[in-house]
């Protein structure tokens, strides 16, 4: 996929998640108004729903990748599976924390996180059934999912972090952010060398 096309599909994902948030916000109350009146909102924050949708898309494509690599070479499939497990463990813990922070009860957050994680199995099963069509669409749908995650972080998570007033917590959050940038930069160098 060329760069212009990729950017276009990322923009589609960003726009889609914007539309979803507006739809969810309009039909599930207005928690901001309750907060302004000093009451606790009863419904979870909208980014909870966006996180679940984005994570479901992400996990679905993890399943596509695992199934594809097993079809290419079982030993590569095993390595890919282990890599995805190592990548998913901290991500799912983070997703759980985001869901609880967004207003879900702990048990509900755990259950929904599990259900969304099962989309990995769905992605793998569909790949085994429709390998050609899935491989063609995978690149475009991954770009749409990327746009969704960019929207989620830009519109919901970063503003939440910006409102933090505790200096120690703010420094910890910035340190984790900086560490993430270093890891992304390092992995970019490693990929170029390979």
Measured distance CA(133)–CA(123) in Å, rounded? 12
Backbone angles phi, psi at 164, to 5 degrees: -65, 130
Say if residue 92's pLDDT is above 60.
Answer: yes
d(CA 60, CA 48): 18
| Whether pLDDT at 28 is above 90 | no
pLDDT of 33 reads: 45
The pLDDT, as a whole number, for residue 36 is 47
pLDDT category at 139 given cuts 50, 70, 90 is low
> Average pLDDT of the chain?
77
Burial of 6: CB neighbours in 10 Å, binned 0-12, 13-18, 19+ = middle
Q: Is the pLDDT of residue 34 over 70?
A: no
pLDDT at 106: 92
29-43, 45-59, 92-106: range with lowest mean pLDDT: 29-43
Look up the pTM and report it: 0.56
Q: What tens digit of pLDDT does each residue of 58-81 get?
A: 888 888 888 877 887 788 788 888
């Amino acid at each position: 996929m060329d760069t212009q096309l990729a950017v276009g599909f990322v923009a589609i994902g960003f726009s889609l998640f914007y539309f979803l948030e507006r739809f969810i916000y309009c039909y599930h109350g207005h928690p901001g108004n309750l907060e302004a009146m000093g009451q606790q909102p009863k419904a979870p924050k909208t980014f909870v729903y966006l996180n679940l949708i984005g994570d479901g898309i992400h996990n679905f494509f993890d399943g596509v990748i695992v199934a594809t690599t097993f079809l290419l070479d079982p030993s590569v499939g095993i390595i890919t599976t282990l890599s995805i497990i190592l990548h998913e463990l901290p991500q799912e813990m983070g997703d759980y924390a985001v869901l609880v922070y967004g207003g879900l009860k702990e048990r509900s957050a755990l259950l929904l996180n599990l259900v969304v994680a099962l989309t990995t199995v769905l992605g793998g099963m569909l790949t085994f059934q429709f390998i050609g069509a899935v491989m063609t669409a995978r690149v475009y749908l991954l770009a749409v999912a990327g746009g969704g995650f960019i929207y989620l972080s830009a519109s919901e998570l970063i503003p939440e972090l910006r409102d933090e007033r505790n200096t120690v917590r703010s420094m910890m959050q910035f340190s984790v952010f900086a560490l993430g940038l270093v890891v992304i930069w390092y992995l970019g160098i490693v990929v170029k060398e390979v």
